[in-house]
């Protein structure tokens, strides 16, 4: 089970603002912040951001519904994120979308509800 992610970013302020907006549809919020970094989560701390040397990673956020996946995507579009794959049913119980954060990390929102016969 994943406990948390520690992500290095080029511009901490820019990344904090990006993640505040993109994670809001998933009910994941900024929990704390100081000069060294920021922590996002709900009742648990999931993502720790800090400035440093960036190495590209891919991580997925669990959405509670297909609508949350779609809202995550739309927020990314509105933020001007570089887009990878629009929301789509990939497998019977895997509805997801992918985009890149300001540092080129591939981020995903995924819902594990079974899709209907149309996708």
The string of pLDDT tens digits covering residues 18-77 is: 999 999 999 999 999 998 899 999 888 789 999 999 988 898 999 999 999 999 999 999
Tokens for 83? 């887009």
pLDDT at 118 over 60: no
Query: Is the separation of the CB atoms in 110 and 69 below 8 Å?
Result: yes
Reported as a pLDDT band with limits 50, 70 and 90, residue 113 is confident
Reported as a pLDDT band with limits 50, 70 and 90, residue 7 is very high
What pLDDT score does 2 carry?
A: 55
Q: Tell me how far CA of residue 78 lies from CA of 29, 75, 81, 104, in angstroms.
A: 18, 5, 8, 17
What pLDDT score does 116 carry?
A: 59
pTM of the model: 0.81
What pLDDT score does 42 carry?
A: 87
Tokens for 47? 């993502």
What pLDDT score does 37 carry?
A: 95
What pLDDT score does 46 carry?
A: 84
What pLDDT score does 111 carry?
A: 95
pLDDT at 1 over 50: no
Closest CA to 84 of 67, 109, 61, 64: 109
Closest CA to 49 of 73, 30, 26: 30
């Amino acid at each position: 089970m994943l406990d948390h992610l520690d992500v290095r970013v080029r511009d901490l302020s820019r990344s904090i603002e990006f993640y505040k907006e993109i994670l809001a549809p998933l009910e994941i919020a900024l929990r704390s912040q100081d000069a060294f970094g920021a922590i996002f989560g709900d009742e648990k701390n999931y993502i720790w951001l800090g400035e440093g040397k960036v190495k590209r990673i891919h991580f997925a956020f669990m959405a509670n519904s297909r609508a949350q996946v779609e809202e995550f995507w739309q927020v990314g579009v509105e933020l001007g994120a570089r887009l990878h794959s629009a929301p789509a049913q990939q497998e019977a119980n895997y509805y997801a979308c992918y985009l890149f954060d300001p540092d080129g990390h591939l981020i995903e929102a995924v819902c594990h509800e079974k899709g209907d016969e149309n996708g």
